Each structure stands twice: as C-alpha cells, then as structure tokens.
Amino acid sequence: MDFGLFLEDDGPSAVLEDDAISTVETEASAEERAATAAPTGTKRARKKERTRREIYTTAMSLFSEKGYDGVTIEDICRNASVAKATFFLHFENKAALVKDFNDEVTAAIIEKLTGHQGTTEEQLTLLQSAFREAWELNAPVMQKMLREFVDQPAMLSKAASANQGIVNLVTDIVRRGQARGELRAHFAPELAAVSIVSTWSALAAWWTDNPDANTGTEDDNPSLQIIDITLNGLKARG
C-alpha cells in the first residue's frame, strides 16, 4: 500500500550502557543547537543535514534488521554515534522518521519526472506507483511506524509536515497540467494536491489496521481510483 511525543521507556532493553550517550540525555551541545537553527547552505546547516541523514539511515537499517518494535531510540543513537538529545533535535520520536522516508521517495520521483513528457494522469500514476513500491518493500516497518504516527496527539498538524514534500510535488504536477490545458484552470493546484494526498494518507492509515488486506490489482487499486475520480469526477458521462 502506498502512502500520502517523546517515547516512554521501552523497558529493560532501553537501558543505556553507553556512557557517552547516557551522560548527555537532556541537553544537546551548543554547536548542535546552533546547527539546527542555521540557515540553509551554511556549514552548520550542512552538518545538521548530515547528522539527520545519519540518524535516519541508521534507524531504517536497524528496523530492517530487528523490526520496528525491536529498536529503541537509544539503539539508534548508539549506532549513529549521536547523543540522545541530538536525536530529539531532529525527530520527536521514532514515528517522525516517516517524514524523511516520504522525502527520500519524493526526491527519487522528482528525478524520474525530470524531462518526463507524460500527461498529468501518467505522472500522478508514476508517483503513486513509486510510493506503493517503496512502502510495500518496507511494509512490516512502515505499518508499525505509521500506526504510531497516526496515534500521536495533534496528528493532523504532524501529517501536514510529513506530507509537505509530496503535496508540493503533486501541486507542481497539477499546475503543469493546467498550463498544458489538460486540467481546468480555475481551481488552485494546491487544493487539488491536498485533496489527493489527504485521501492517499487516509488509505495508508486504513492499511495499518488491515495489514493483510488485498490492496487491489493495477486495475482496481484504490489509489489509482482516487486519481481517476479526481481527474474525471463521479458523474457518469454520456
């Protein structure tokens, strides 16, 4: 299936044995805090991005090896060689890693779409198929990560942030479709994008509660049907 708090102590397995981490649980260094707030393009900003990327890739590797529930934030910090406070500068909890997963897939899709001459429907289908493949390849991890993400307080505002890159990409696809005359020009492309991505996200949330459900063939896949409804409407055509 496609798509688009701090954790409590996980028990004895979460107890730190690495003094380098346990002594800096509550406060990040001044350099780390400055890097987090630094403008894009500066040396500190690049350091911040490298650190965030290292945390993300380390976490995903551990999830693949041990399962989502088998990995604590302390495990991620230890393997990424960062302080626990540094983790929390970048991510509110494990579930917040879903934003970087979405951003990673979105970046790959943008590269694929560079110079792509297909229609709006073809480009949206390519996007949907890429997300579906990425989520299904990581299904056991992503189902649990998304379930935890959905269960958070203030989930709607967090979802908006996690999906922003996808919404921006869909907005660009819709805007280009309007410029080519494929789509009506009187509606805001941002609104169309939010509508599409929100529905995809709702389907993804449903998937977390129904992990064994058949998500459809290429002909009746729910997300492809959403594209069809969005572009062609519900009214029967004569």
* pLDDT value at residue 146: 87
How is the chain split into domains, by residue range?
A: 12-91, 96-232
Q: What is the pLDDT of residues 190-216, one digit of tens each?
A: 999 998 898 888 877 777 777 665 555
Q: Of residues 37 and 139, which shows the higher confidence score?
A: 139
Residue 169 has what pLDDT? 94
Terminal C-alpha separation, the chain? 33
Where b means 16+ CB within 10 Å and e means fewer, 19-29 reads eebeebeeebe
Query: For residue range 109-136, what is the model confidence (pLDDT) as tens digits?
Result: 999 888 888 999 999 999 988 888 888 8
pLDDT for position 227: 77
Instruction: Give the tens place of pLDDT for each residue, 60-80.
Output: 999 999 999 999 999 999 999
Domain covering 96-232: architecture: Orthogonal Bundle (1.10)
31 has a pLDDT exceeding 60: no
Please give the residue that has the higher pLDDT: either 173 or 40.
173
Q: Tell if the pTM clears 0.75, that is, is over it.
A: no
Q: How far is CA 171 from CA 39, 104, 177, 189, in A?
A: 25, 18, 10, 5
The H or E element containing residue 196 is: helix 189-209
Q: How confident is the model at residue 58 (pLDDT cuts 50, 70, 90)?
A: very high
Average pLDDT of the chain? 79
Q: What are phi and psi of 39, to 5 degrees?
A: -65, 150
Is the pLDDT at 29 greater than 90, yes or no? no
Task: Note the pLDDT of residue 151.
Answer: 86
